[in-house]
Amino acid sequence: MNKRLRVLFHVISLATALPAIAAASKPELAAQPAAQEWFALVDGGSLAESWDKMAATFKKEISKRKWKSTIAELRKPLGKLGSRKLKSAEYTKELPGAPEGEYVVARFETAFERKPAAIETVTLLLGQDLIWRVSSYAVK
């Protein structure tokens, strides 16, 4: 009886773990926590830290000082964040003008204080260390 309970326990444990394993294997889902963490930094005004969390390819293109002024100028007219909802996420290995890699392009429907219907796009790049990092950001 004890052996049967152990087998049953392992079967139940495996069955409950499968959805989490499947989610982690989908790049579109695996990249989302990195996007949310990065957004939290930008939304909270931690602009230098947001640059620190970006992909190395981005950091080679723009200095931390330039990033801080650029993102501040971009976000200031929008006002405070109201809400943000994932609209789409697409995995790709090729992006125009970008080096080879594994990317997730995520688009969010965002409401800001002074722009209630915005679309934010973040592109995330999977690093050699298998960590997703933001490599570009745009808001329209």
80-125 pLDDT per residue, tens: 999 999 999 999 999 998 889 999 999 999 999 999 999 999 999 9
Per-residue model confidence as pLDDT tens digits over 27-64: 999 999 999 999 999 999 999 999 999 999 999 999 99
**106 and 67 both lie in a single domain:** yes
**51 and 38 both lie in a single domain:** yes
- Tell me which residue range forms the domain holding 15: 1-26
**65 and 121 both lie in a single domain:** yes
**64 and 19 both lie in a single domain:** no
| Residue 96 belongs to domain with CATH number | 3.10.450.100
Q: Is 23 helix (H, G, I), strand (E, B) or coil?
A: helix
Residue type present at position 89: A
**46 and 70 both lie in a single domain:** yes
What's the whole-model pTM score? 0.81
d(CA 119, CA 139): 6
Domain count, the chain: 2
Burial string for 53-71 (b: 16+ CB within 10 Å, else e) reads ebbeebeeeeeeeebeeeb
**54 and 1 both lie in a single domain:** no
